[in-house]
Amino acid sequence: MIVMKKSLVLLSVLLVNTCILRIKAQEAKPEKPLNVILMIGDGMGIPQVSSAFYFGEETPNFERFEEIGLHKSYSTSHLITDSAAGATAFSTGQKTYKRAIGVSKDTIPQETILEKLKNEGYQTGLISLTSITHATPASFYAHVKDRDMHEEIAEQLITADVDFLAGGGRKFFSNRSDGKNLFNILLEHNYTLDTLKLGSSKAGMRNAFIIEDEGLPSKIDGRGDFLKEASLEALDYFGKAEKPFFLMIEGSYIDWGGHDMNPEMMISEVADFDKTLGAVLDYVESHPNTLLVVTADHETGGASIGKYYKLDAETGKKTEVPEKVAVYFITDQHSGELIPVFAKGKGAENFKGIYQNAQIYHKILKAIHEN
């Protein structure tokens, strides 16, 4: 009888202790807000993703996703959209007209997801292979009625206080029609600036790597691993502060491969994007408080993967080579296909189904708020 009482007391003490421990654990370690990485393969439809499965040597990293959806890419003005309206739909949560940067269909500036999360205490970052003032990155911090207003966009960037910037576009800052050197203003905003290369990120400061006059070279013109290296440098930099982060990474030239109707360019740019994706997925898998969304603004080239034929120069006869495929394009313009969305990490299940491009904004915010 006495033994039983003792064990009851012991049990009660244990229960109380467990409760206190639980409360302490909750107090000591509140769940940090969700980190968000948005990767945009400009011009990357299903055919472009498919090319990674035929032309790569390893299993593409795209295969590491289980949560996959499709979005409807059209703009309010054109069924076949462009990168400006496409990225603005992701950044503001509403569709707009072709060429619009961060403005509604009535040209009214809209708060972007980057600006909103920054106001909520997030660190922010943008990586592009084009000028950092180009339509895709610009749609996250600028508000202008036309995508070609590069000098105005650059002027808006220097006061947007984005914490990590990597891309091209030097001339829009330091060789301008108004004679201003915007890099001086950037330095006043607590930036370290490198106009030649990556690698010198400093914790506790903002970092800008604006390393070409306009865009970076394409992969086939010798770009190297800039996209992957910039992405890893950004993730390393964000990890040094306690705050959560929002990072947009653009594989910009998958689109240009389509405009050039150049299979080699398209395939090599998708491979470069996939390589970067592998590094980012490794990060997401080891940092579970992160959501990764990978998509495109639209498809470019009306690309398809079809039969490969060998041509006999003498007879002109075409013979199918069963173990090879070829990439074909039907246009040097954008197309209207449904666009794949791949998601990984917390909230990834929200990205299944078929929905409007602008829903990506709302699904990201839902994942953050439900975390």
Query: Closest residue to Mg ion, Cβ-based?
Result: 136
Quote the CA–CA distance of 113 and 91 in Å, as a whole number.
Answer: 5
CA nearest 86: which of 273, 336, 261, 353?
336
Q: Which of the stretches 27-35, 210-218, 220-228, 247-255 binds Zn ion when contact is defined by CB under 5 A?
A: 247-255
Catalytic residue among 51, 73, 75, 83: 83
Q: Which residues pair with 305 in a beta bridge?
A: 327
Q: Which of the stretches 105-113, 192-200, 238-246, 251-259 binds Zn ion when contact is defined by CB under 5 A?
A: 251-259
Count of other CB atoms within 10 angstroms of residue 103: 22
Q: Which of the stretches 41-49, 154-162, 271-279, 317-325 binds Mg ion when contact is defined by CB under 5 A?
A: 41-49
Choice from 255, 269, 274, 299 touching Zn ion (CB under 5 A): 255
Quote the CA–CA distance of 278 and 255 in Å, as a whole number.
Answer: 20
> Nearest 5°: phi and psi at 292?
-115, 125
Query: Is 83 noted as a catalytic residue in this protein?
Result: yes
Site map 251..280 versus Mg ion, x via CB under 5 A:
-x----------------------------
82 binds Mg ion (CB under 5 A): no
300 binds Mg ion (CB under 5 A): no
- Rounded least distance, CB 365 to Zn ion, Å: 27
Size, binding site for Mg ion by CB under 5 A:
4
Quote the CA–CA distance of 73 and 297 in Å, as a whole number.
Answer: 7
Residues composing the chain: 371
Nearer Cβ to Mg ion (251/345): 251
Torsion-angle region of 316 (φ positive above 0: left; ψ -120 to 50: alpha; else: beta): left
Count of other CB atoms within 10 angstroms of residue 7: 10
- Catalytic residue set: 83
Residues that bind Mg ion in the complex, under the rule CB under 5 A: 42, 83, 136, 252
Residues that bind Zn ion in the complex, under the rule CB under 5 A: 255
